[in-house]
Structure 1
């Protein structure tokens, strides 16, 4: 009997340990930092498919979107942030709210699907945003652009979704060199970052978007391969993003995997460990 009691106590202690560990991890993820795995190439070359980073949730304060989602289709898990914290949604405010800055790389909830997206903040409330002949215009003024050579990558399936890159140098066979023109874009507040271009398409010629109060306008750095605020939500874009949908700011890449899984350590990119996001 004594041996059974000891075994029972050991099992109970293990259960408590696991429970407290999950509780602490949940609180940490909700309040401080949320892990984020880059699934697509819309932010190249700033962020590559397979980059793993932590999102700073303290940067902009907290809203319903700060509650973590747990979506694992293979295990039938689909717990959305709105399921837990939906009671906070609707007034477009935040607790301990901080204002994002133009040029921040931000993770936010898609206003319709609720999925997490990561893009660069381009337009603030009240801004007039337009793209003319591939050049970003803010309040009628073209941003500063400087040619910066060519971005190159291997034309091959990338990441768990096995996405193939689009190339400016035409269709490129597997194993070939895929090229995109690269420029340095400088925003009005002095923030500079790299953008990539593939070719002339409709998203290079837009009307004027007037950003509503309490909303933001986002674009991907891989300008011709990004579903962002240039496209309305019904057309597969994100449209204007409410303040309460912001999750946090991406500050630093922890590590990066060029393979199908983050666990394939032999595919890790050694030059991206602890790399700052600019």
Structure 2
């Protein structure tokens, strides 16, 4: 997911604002017959300014839609899910510059966040926060440890999935419930896959350790490191549509689901 749209939207808003300003400061002082085609063009472009400004404000400070392109967050999020991200959950940021102007809250363990990928900030990633600043994280034998304590897991059963998200024949993934404090979320592991390991690492101040819920098929902090606070985009909150044409295209059963 590339970020060029934010820059394009901001530039279009600025350009239409100039035409909106010209129309009010120049042409409105003249008679209605003066200006001809130039005036009509200016009025047309200027009329787009309020609409683009509303879209820019809504998308930059309130909510933004994203599409899930991969299976790294199965079973929580599926390929083809369209989600809504709360942009103000972790503070208000200026569009394009991404600098925080109003702090609001910090991510908690278990939050699913969208962030600018540290190795290519043009791309947005989505993962679950498992380590906060100062936490010590370990991962061995498909078991997560936070500050030396085992994160409790409970077996749910085999993971099968549907359509694009159906399990590949010959593999036997297991679905688990994983607990942070009193909250639980679902994860998937593949017992036959090699055990990835993370020896004890401490999360630096102002950074986060994130993992995909599809633990054996996720490129996350185990591979490329931490997520800086300034790379946060927002918190994933709802699924507003699921599109999978191997199953009739729109799956109404997932629409409106809260992301946990």
Coarse TM-score class (shorter-chain normalised): 0.7 to 0.9
User: Are 1:39 and 2:73 an aligned pair?
Assistant: no
Among 217, 230, 249, the residue aligned to 1:244: 230
State which structure, 1 or 2, has the greater radius of gyration over its C-alpha atoms: 2
* Aligned match for 1:99, one of 106, 130, 153: 106
* 8 Å CA contact retained: 1:131, 1:203: no
Q: Is the 8 A contact 2:160 2:167 kept in 1?
A: no
Does residue 113 of structure 1 match 2:101?
A: no
Once the 2 structures are TM-superposed, how far is the Cα of residue 16 of structure 1 from its aligned partner? 2.6
- Root-mean-square deviation (CA, aligned residues, Å) is 2.7
**TM-score (normalised: structure 1):** 0.73
Change (3 A) 1:4 1:198: farther
In structure 1, the residue matched to 2:22 is: none
> Which position in structure 1 is the counterpart of 2:160?
152
Q: For residues 36 and 20 of structure 1, what CA distance do their matches in structure 2 show?
A: 24
Contact (CA 8 Å) 2:89, 2:234: kept in 1 or not?
A: yes
Asked if 1:214 corresponds to 2:200, the answer is no
- The CA distance in 1 between the partners of 2:134 and 2:66, in whole Å, is 30
Aligned residue runs from structure 1 range 55-70, under 5 A: 55-63=85-93, 67=95
1:7 CA displacement: 7.5
Q: Displacement of 1:180 after TM fit?
A: 2.0
Which of 176, 182, 190 is the equivalent residue of 1:183?
176
Structure with bigger helix share is 2
Secondary structure of the structure 2 residue equivalent to 1:271: helix
Q: CA deviation at 1:145?
A: 0.9
- Give the number of aligned pairs: 228
Does residue 30 in structure 1 map to residue 60 in structure 2? yes
**Which residue pairs with 1:192 in the alignment?**
184
Gapped runs of 5+ residues in structure 2? 1-31
Q: What secondary structure, in the 3-state scheme, does the structure 2 residue paired with 1:24 have?
A: helix
Tell me the equivalent position of 1:227. 219
* Separation in 1, partners of 2:111, 2:194: 25
- Secondary structure of 1:208 counterpart: strand
Task: Give the structure-2-normalised TM-score.
Answer: 0.78
Could you report, residue by residue, the CA deviation over 1:236-259 in whole angstroms, capped at 9, with x for unpaired residues? xxx111111111101111111113
Taking the aligned partners of 1:22 and 1:199, their CA distance within structure 2 comes to 50
Structure 2 CA distance, aligned partners of 1:55 and 1:18?
Answer: 25
Name structure 1 gaps, 5 residues minimum: 68-80, 159-163, 172-178, 233-238
Match of 1:270 in 2: 252
Give the Å deviation of 1:206.
2.2
For 1:66-81, what aligned pairs fall within 5 Å after superposition? 67=95, 81=96
